[in-house]
Structure 1
């Protein structure tokens, strides 16, 4: 009986040790991509990033192309994907689900530092309608009330979190809307701020919504649509800037060449991270990826950081580079919910 008891104790201890050591890390590293970054246009950049990680880790890399923000968040939080390229809000959601999800790297600004590591959340309207959103000589959010509005996804930083915070800050100063909260913007109606609310699912489709009159106003960032449009007037990413869909724009803009939109509001947003599930990959693997991604070799890789005159389409423009950040870098995104 004593031997049986000792044997049972050994089995339990071994089980605990196995759990403590964690499961063997996968031979294939899966990268989850948000809908904005899953387009065919971006396959070369995705593949190049995969090659860098394969070379650094000796593992295969597979892409998980998602059609919904929630899928990408769940994939990285659950460990079905070990890396994900997420917006700030999506990262915060994934980290909240699983604290083992942490930033791997983030792209810098053109200075090569974190000081200008930002992009823009914009509220846009179709060209020809912009004057109704002016108050005197300046653009105002005032007249978006009662309109048909398109957000991207509730998990989108620049497509919901930031614009909704700005909208609430503006209208909650008025007695009629003093109790307005971001969650009140999820639906339209006669007693709501907007007559109708729709979600594009990606920045590209949120822009398509306003260009095709499905919405009168849309939330759209700059980085996810920059490959399809060109600045036609005004200063980039400022109220009054006019953009035109390029003649050679691919889907979902292939039938919208020449269509124009105008920015009526613009807010800088912290650059999105590549996040890693540190519970699924070893420290050695993570360190190897960081060393490779932050190297001068990757910084000078024109398939990842794309020169201004290049015809290739991707996520990052030169001159930029990857840098490491802590979870606390995304605290300002969390603070938007306070």
Structure 2
């Protein structure tokens, strides 16, 4: 799930301030009262201006399901979103798998309640892809024995998304660590170590722009956060995938329209969850939200799910029978294992 992600937009404000929505008080039994107003926090990639209607649509559905006031909280930093949901200042979050796992690690009350399916309408293909990309006009320089390879990326200028991004750091950095048999990922985050320079785009969009503007030689980003701005011209699931920015792409891609990048490698990633802080959101409200968002009505709503070719910027990409499906932390066992968390 994502961060795209270079600007802060206050969108879909339906209720009280973040502070008011996030506060709690002790009851007579020493526990915590559930939040009377709710805040939904989004990662930078889902905080872009054009995603405003989609964020508002999610807030509206949560409001209708629970009857509570709902506020949207956008961010320009992954850690802000992670801290918001783990601390209870936000009660609901749309997060990438790694961001969720980091929040869950900080507070076990943070639990996933929903993810979105793949084309089949099931969890069998509920995944997107993380890429290590280079500019198309320089892609042949990275071939070894006629095949795209990571072998020549050492010493280059590298752009990641954020060190708490699943598909924008954890997965690609793990692949680089394995490929070069590094002891850990620490050197990959520091300029002058493995890479001559390391940039963090702050969002998948930002990382892609770093690459296409020439500020980076190599970049990591995912497909689900970019398909609203461009398209793959061939098989997007493997090395050699060619991603081209649309001729009418909005900011931050307006300065790199028509430019293309080639994947040196592509890695599957489990779809992102909608997570809640169970200490701050009642089980009753959680069930109401799950019931509302797993309805066929939501699956057909283009503000929630729309094809990459649609004019509307949806909350999540639509392919075939994509829909929300209820899950628990158990479903993310593979990602827990990959990340060692």
TM-score normalised by L of structure 1:
0.89
Match of 1:332 in 2: 334
d(CA) in 1 for partners of 2:140, 2:95? 35
Structure 2 residue aligned with 1:146, among 140, 143, 155?
Answer: 155
- Match status 1:180 vs 2:183: yes
d(CA) in 1 for partners of 2:228, 2:27? 51
Shift of 1:236: 2.0
Q: Is the 8 A contact 1:159 1:221 kept in 2?
A: yes
Shift of the 332–50 alpha-carbon distance from structure 1 to 2, 3 Å rule, reads same
Match of 1:17 in 2: 28
CA RMSD of aligned residues (A): 1.4
Shift of 1:262: 1.0
Structure of larger gyration radius: 1
Give 1 or 2: higher helix fraction.
Answer: 1
d(CA) in 1 for partners of 2:308, 2:191? 40
Structure 1 residue aligned with 2:97, among 85, 88, 99?
Answer: 88
Match of 2:288 in 1: 288
Q: Is the 8 A contact 1:107 1:316 kept in 2?
A: no
Shift of 1:334: 2.3
Q: List, as ranges, runs of 4+ consecutive aligned residues in structure 1 with deviation greater than 6 Å.
A: none
d(CA) in 1 for partners of 2:303, 2:27? 45
Mapping of 1:227-306 within 5 angstroms?
Answer: 227-232=228-233, 234-306=234-306
Q: Is the 8 A contact 1:102 1:326 kept in 2?
A: yes
- Match status 1:129 vs 2:138: yes
d(CA) in 1 for partners of 2:317, 2:58? 11
TM-score normalised by L of structure 2:
0.88
Shift of 1:325: 1.2
Shift of 1:302: 2.1
Any stretches of 5+ residues in structure 1 without a counterpart? 1-14, 173-178
Helix, strand or coil: the match of 2:30?
A: helix
d(CA) in 1 for partners of 2:149, 2:308? 32
Shift of the 330–101 alpha-carbon distance from structure 1 to 2, 3 Å rule, reads same
Shift of the 309–135 alpha-carbon distance from structure 1 to 2, 3 Å rule, reads closer
Helix, strand or coil: the match of 1:333?
A: helix
Shift of 1:16: 7.2
d(CA) in 1 for partners of 2:113, 2:143? 42
Helix, strand or coil: the match of 2:65?
A: helix
Shift of 1:307: 4.0
Helix, strand or coil: the match of 1:243?
A: strand
Q: Is the 8 A contact 1:122 1:264 kept in 2?
A: yes
Match of 2:14 in 1: none
Shift of the 245–307 alpha-carbon distance from structure 1 to 2, 3 Å rule, reads closer
d(CA) in 1 for partners of 2:123, 2:111? 17
